[in-house]
Amino acid sequence: MAILGYLIAVLIGLSLGLIGGGGSIITVPVLVYLLKVEPVSATMYSLFVVGSCSLVGSAKAYKKGLVDTPVVFVFGGASMLSVFIARHYLVPLLPDYLFSIGDITVTKSTFLMLAFAFLMLVTSVSMIRAAVRPPMIPVPGQDQARKMLPLFAQGAAVGAVTGLLGAGGGFLIIPALVLFGKLPMKTAVGSSLTIMTFSSLFGFFSTLAQYTINWALLLSFTAIAVGGIFIGMKLSDKISPNSLKKGFGWFVLIVAVLVIIREIFFA
């Protein structure tokens, strides 16, 4: 099972390298079910994996001039603040036992995994729909004024998701940057990777003292995922992003359903 987990790490990086997101959403389930990391710790590990992988992608985007610094500052600043609050205050506040429904007991770990599964369902539907939706064409004379307050609010919301569940939130960030930041798609992807880099690594290192880290596992998993990014970057001009996005969306949907079944019926 561990070997399968490391193989999927390549897929995580591959997705980030090809389409700028998506792969991070399966990091926590892989760490929990295949590499046997406790769920709360897995959200912490995921922050490091997502942040490190995004760092590689954002560095390439920055060199190409595909990072909008003002938007990153507003959205990323709000996201980092929200991540800090979530990791320092919200996660520790969750009791180990939450409630019971019949014979089903919902613990902190169960809640986090079910919340992650719900996020995966939303992500999968978003990816599948985005793959079949025609690309957005700018309308001549369209108001290009940046809406910084909605950007800040979106950043805070994404930061809460990142802090609680360890997900990068690229599927939430990119639409916000296009709609409110008025960014072209490629710049939105590059800026999203930069935001995920700062928010994820900030969330990891700001709460590092609260966890015991298996560095051998974490660094090896991250290194393989980063290797997948380089492969994805080289294949990005040869594989249709829409085809990959749709296929990966269905894969995430299947994993989400399996997580829900496992947590409800076999926990």
* Widest Cα–Cα separation across the chain: 59
Structure tokens at 247: 């296929």
pLDDT, residue 78, reads: 92
Helix (H, G, I), strand (E, B) or coil at 39: helix
pLDDT, residue 161, reads: 80
Half-sphere exposure of 169 (CA within 13 A, CB side): 32
pLDDT, residue 184, reads: 82
Q: How far is CA 182 from CA 30, 60, 177, in A?
A: 35, 21, 6
pLDDT, residue 102, reads: 75
Number of domains in the chain: 1
Q: Are 98 and 106 in contact (CB under 8 A)?
A: yes
Instruction: Convert the pLDDT of each residue in 112-166 to its tens digit.
Output: 888 878 877 887 787 777 666 555 444 444 444 567 888 898 889 888 888 887 7
DSSP character for 30? I
Q: Read off the pTM.
A: 0.76
Listed as ranges, residues in the chain with pLDDT below 70 are 19-24, 130-146, 167-171, 236-237, 239-242, 244-245, 267
Residue 101 dihedral angles phi and psi, to the nearest 5°: -125, 100
Structure tokens at 76: 């990323």
Distance CA 217, CA 7 (A): 14
pLDDT, residue 133, reads: 58
Q: What is the DSSP string of 115-145?
A: HHHHHHHHHHHHHHHHHHSPPP-PPTT----
The range of the structural domain enclosing residue 198 comes to 2-265
Q: How far is CA 36 from CA 33, 81, 192, in A?
A: 6, 30, 30
Instruction: Convert the pLDDT of each residue in 64-83 to its tens digit.
Output: 898 999 999 999 899 889 98
Distance CA 200, CA 175 (A): 19
Residues in the chain: 267
pLDDT, residue 159, reads: 84
Specify the amino acid at residue 177.
Answer: L
Q: Are 40 and 7 in contact (CB under 8 A)?
A: no
